């Protein structure tokens, strides 16, 4: 018998599945971070009909609140999202990791002009790059402040940085 009405499914935070955790571990390993102990209470927020899951690290006290609600909107530190088996890091994670730049992570550092271009989501050329690293990593400005995620790419003989997610997103998307 067919149901006459489709059941409404609420977005809810749930513990991460082992396969999802492996996706994040793989990403972190590429960055040079051995997760060892994963961040506190890694949880996935599944939104009905979406083809991705948002990933959060939820503080213990906040986690206790979840049981009171059938639907959750957002909680804790946003790490990024998983789509088709790939982890796409979010801006709060860049801020969290930026303190490790030059220590456990190789980051990309840009000068003022590079910062400006990056925040406008434009490719940054070699002359505006202070420190460069190939592949996906955290991008910081001259002062070491995180400004997003980028990919270090060699084009011809020149090193460039392609923005993946930059702080300008807060203005462009607003949420």
Partner 1 sequence: MNLDDVVFAGYEYSREVLELSERFGYEPSIVYRYVEVLGLEGAWRLLEANETPLPETIRCNDYLIDCGVLKDRLEGKGFKLERLPLAPHGFKVLAQPFSIGAAHEYLMGYYYIQDPGSMLVVYILDPGPGEFIIDMAAAPGGKATQILQLTRDKARLLAVDVSGRRLKALRSHMQRMGFTSYLAVKMDARLLPDTLKADRVLLDAPSSGEGIIRKDPGRKLKGKLEDLRMIHKLQVSLLEKAYNLVRDGGVIVYAACSTAVEEGEYVIHKLLDSKSDVHVEGSRVEGLSPGVIAYRGVEFNQEVAGCSRLWPHIQGTEGFFTCRLVKSRK
Q: CB-based burial of residue 28 (10 Å sphere; 0-12 exposed, 13-18 middle, 19+ buried)?
A: buried
Could you say whether residue 27 binds partner 1 (CB under 8 A)? no
Please, are residues 55 and 16 in contact by the beta-carbon 8 Å criterion? yes
Could you say whether residue 62 binds partner 1 (CB under 8 A)? yes
Cα(175)–Cα(165) distance, integer angstroms: 13
Could you say whether residue 73 binds partner 1 (CB under 8 A)? yes
Closest by CA to 139, choosing from 159, 110, 99, is: 110
Could you say whether residue 137 binds partner 1 (CB under 8 A)? no
Q: Which of residues 116-135 bind partner 1 (CB under 8 A)?
A: 119
Could you say whether residue 72 binds partner 1 (CB under 8 A)? yes
Tell me how far the alpha carbon of residue 133 is from its chain's centroid. 18
Could you say whether residue 171 binds partner 1 (CB under 8 A)? yes
Q: Which stretch binds partner 1 (CB under 8 A): 20-28, 59-67, 100-108, 122-130?
A: 59-67
Could you say whether residue 43 binds partner 1 (CB under 8 A)? no
Could you say which of 17, 22, 48, 71 contacts partner 1 (CB under 8 A)?
71
Residue 142 CB partners (closer than 8 Å, separation 6+): 109, 110, 111, 112, 115, 130
Nearer Cβ to partner 1, position 6 or 68? Answer: 68
Nearer Cβ to partner 1, position 58 or 159? Answer: 58
Q: Which helix (H) or strand (E) holds 80?
A: strand 77-83
Could you say which of 44, 115, 133, 137 contacts partner 1 (CB under 8 A)?
115
Q: Which SS3 state, helix, strand or coil, does residue 29 take?
A: helix
Question: How many alpha carbons fall within 13 Å on the CB side of residue 25?
Answer: 12
Nearer Cβ to partner 1, position 107 or 159? Answer: 107
Could you say whether residue 6 binds partner 1 (CB under 8 A)? no
Could you say which of 92, 100, 122, 126 contacts partner 1 (CB under 8 A)?
92
């Amino acid at each position: 018998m067919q149901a006459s009405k489709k059941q409404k499914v609420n977005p809810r935070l749930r513990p991460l599945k082992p396969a999802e955790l492996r996706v994040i571990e793989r990403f972190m390993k590429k960055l040079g971070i051995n997760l060892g102990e994963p961040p506190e209470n890694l949880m996935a927020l599944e939104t009905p009909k979406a083809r991705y899951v948002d990933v959060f690290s939820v503080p213990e006290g906040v986690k206790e609140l979840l049981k009171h609600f059938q639907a959750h909107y957002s909680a804790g530190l946003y790490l990024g999202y998983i789509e088709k088996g790939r982890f796409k890091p979010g801006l709060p994670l860049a801020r969290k990791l930026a303190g490790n730049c030059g220590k456990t992570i190789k980051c990309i550092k840009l000068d003022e002009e590079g910062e400006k271009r990056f925040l406008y989501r434009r490719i940054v050329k070699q002359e505006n790059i202070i420190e460069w690293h190939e592949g996906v990593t955290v991008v910081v400005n001259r002062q070491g402040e995180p400004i997003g995620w980028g990919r270090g790419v060699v084009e011809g003989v020149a090193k460039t940085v392609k923005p993946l997610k930059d702080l300008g997103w807060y203005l462009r998307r607003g949420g």
